[in-house]
Amino acid sequence: MTLAEKILASHTDKKKVSPGEFVTVRVDLILANDVTAPIAIKEFQRIGVDKVFDPKKVVMVPDHFVPNKDIASAEQAKLMRDFCYEQGIIYFEVGQMGIEHVLLPEQGLVLPGDVVIGADSHTCTYGALGTFATGMGSTDIAAAMATGDVWMKVPPTIKLVYHGGLGKWVGGKDLILYTIGDIGVDGALYSVMEFTGEAIDSLSIDGRFTIANMAIEAGAKAGIFRVDNKTQLYIKSRAKRPYRVYEPDSDAEYAQIIDYDVSNIEPQVALPHSPANTKPVSQVGDIEINQTVIGSCTNGRLEDLRLAARILKRRKVHPRVRCIIIPGSQQVYLDALTEGLIEIFIKAGAVVSTPTCGPCLGGHMGVLADGERCISTTNRNFVGRMGSLESEVYLSNPTVAAASAIAGRIVSPEEVVT
C-alpha cells in the first residue's frame, strides 16, 4: 500500500484498502471555522444527537471574518462559540486563535498517522506531517461529529519526485505553483499527491505545509509527505498524545509517477485567474500592482515572515502600494515581534494585522476595488476572489510579494536585493 492507503487502512476494520474501494474511516480530528461551522452545527442539531462523539476530537476556529467585520459575522461566531461551550469541544477565541491551518499543527492537534477532516478545502495542509487530511462539506462534518467516522472512496496516489537543489529565493510555493502549472487544476483530481525526492527532503516543515496546502488547487483529495527527522523534531515538542508513523511499501502501486528537476526553476507567479496560469517571474512582464498581501494558511508562518523581512529591511514600500502582512497565529506574531520583524515591516511602510484569513477570500482587511491588482502569497486567484470581479490577483512566494511591494510592480527579489 501507499502511505495514504496505510493510514486509511489503519482507521478501518480492514487490513488492506485499495483505490476505488468505499470504506468507513474513523477520524482523529474534525475541524470547522466561522464560515462552515454554523452550517455543520445546524445540521448536527437536526440529527437529534445530544453530544458530539468526542469533544476532544472536534476543533472550531473562528478565523475568516475575525475580529468580526459586521453583525452577520458576529452572529456566526456567536453561534459557533455557544455550541463549543455547550459541548465542551476545543475552541480558540480571538486573542488565542490563529488561521486554522497554521494554528492546529502549532498546537500539536494534528499528528503523523492521523485521519483529519475539516470543513475547509485547505485541510490538506496537515499532510506535511504525514497525516491523511482532507476537506469536506459541512453536512459531512455534522455527521462525523455525531458518529466519529466518515464514509469515503479510497483515492489513488500520484507520486511526485523532485530532484536537484533549489535556487535562490525558490521555495515550497514555487514548487507547488510549478507543479500545478504543469498538471493543471484537475491534474490530481480525487487523488493523493505524495511529495518526495531530495528537493523535498531539503525543505523546512513550513515549506512542506505550503505545498500540502495547495494540493487541493490541483484537484487532489490530499497531499502527503513521509515523516523524517525534521517532522519528528517539529512534532516532538508539540505532541500531547501518542501517534504512529507509517511508511509506503516498496511495492506500492501508484496511479502515476511524475519526476521534476528543480535545479532551473525560478520563483513562480500565477497570473489571473487560475493557480495553473503560472510563469517564471522573469517572464511575467511589466505589471503594476496596488496591493501586496503576505500571509494566509499558505504562507503566514514564521519562515515566510522572515523571508519577507529580508527583502523589506531598510527599504520602503512603494507609495502607491498597500502592503498588508498577516501573521498566521498569535505565536507567529509574537515570534516575529521578538525577532524584530514587525519593526522592519512597520518601518518599511507595511501594515501588520491580527491573524485572520481576511483578504484571501475577499472578506475584509484588504478587499480590492475595480481595476486593482494584488500580488499575494495566498492560494487562489479566481475571478473576484479578493473583491471586485474587475480586480486581478497574482500568486507568488513571500520574497516576490515583498520585492513587488517595494518596486510597485511584479519583480524578482533580485531586482530589489543587490
DSSP string, 50-63: SS-S-GGGEEEE--
Residue 188 has pLDDT above 90, yes or no: yes
What CATH number does residue 288 fall under?
3.30.499.10
pLDDT digits (tens, 9 = 90+) for 255-283: 999 999 999 999 999 999 999 999 999 99
Q: Are the C-beta atoms of residues 292 and 378 closer than 8 Å to each other?
A: no
Is residue 327 domain-shared with residue 213, that is, in the same domain? no
Q: Average pLDDT, stretch 384-413?
A: 98
243 and 344 both lie in a single domain:
no
Residue 295's domain comprises 268-415
Claim to verify: residue 91 and residue 200 sit in the same structural domain: yes
Residue 418 reports pLDDT greater than 80: no
* pLDDT per residue as tens digits for the range 64-121: 999 999 999 999 999 999 999 999 999 999 999 999 999 999 999 999 999 999 999 9
H-helix or E-strand spanning residue 151: strand 149-153
pLDDT (0 to 100) of residue 49: 93
Interatomic CA distance for residues 256 and 242, integer angstroms: 33
Tens of pLDDT along 65-81? 999 999 999 999 999 99
Residues 305 and 202 in one domain: no
Q: Do 387 and 338 belong to one domain?
A: yes
Q: Verify that 178 and 299 share a domain, yes or no.
A: no
Q: Looking at the structure, tell me whether residues 108 and 238 fall in a common domain.
A: yes
What percent of the chain is predicted at pLDDT more than 70?
100
pLDDT of residue 100: 97
Burial of 12 by CB count in 10 Å (0-12 exposed, 13-18 middle, 19+ buried)?
middle
Domain end call among 260, 291, 321: 260
Please name which of 221, 211, 21, 22 lies closest in space to residue 128, comparing C-alpha atoms. Answer: 211
In tens, the pLDDT along 22-48 reads 999 999 999 999 999 999 999 999 999
Q: Is the pTM of this model over 0.85?
A: yes
Residues 209 and 338 in one domain: no
Q: Look at residue 382 in the predicted model and tell me its pLDDT.
A: 96
Q: How many domains does the chain have?
A: 2
Has residue 185 got a pLDDT over 90?
Answer: yes
One domain, residues 278 and 130:
no
Rounded to the nearest 10 degrees, the angle between the axes of helix 302-312 and helix 330-338 is: 40
Residues 102, 12 share a domain: yes
Final residue belonging to a domain, choices 229, 260, 291: 260
What mean pLDDT do residues 141-154 have? 97
Q: What 8-state DSSP symbol labels residue 190?
A: T
pLDDT digits (tens, 9 = 90+) for 272-326: 999 999 999 999 999 999 999 999 999 999 999 999 999 999 999 999 999 999 9
Q: How many angstroms separate the CA atoms of 205 and 278, rounded?
A: 24
SS3 405: helix
How open is the CA angle 207-376-101, to the nearest 5 degrees? 45
Count the Cβ atoms, other than its own, within 10 Å of residue 175: 28
95/151 same-domain check: yes
Q: What is the DSSP letter of 361?
A: G
pLDDT in tens, 127-142: 999 999 999 999 999 9
Average model confidence (pLDDT) for the chain?
97
Question: Are residues 386 and 338 part of one domain?
Answer: yes
Residue 35 DSSP SS3:
coil
Adjacent-strand bridge partners of 133: 116
Q: Would the pLDDT of 390 be above 90?
A: yes
Q: Of 240, 260, 280, at which residue does a domain stop?
A: 260
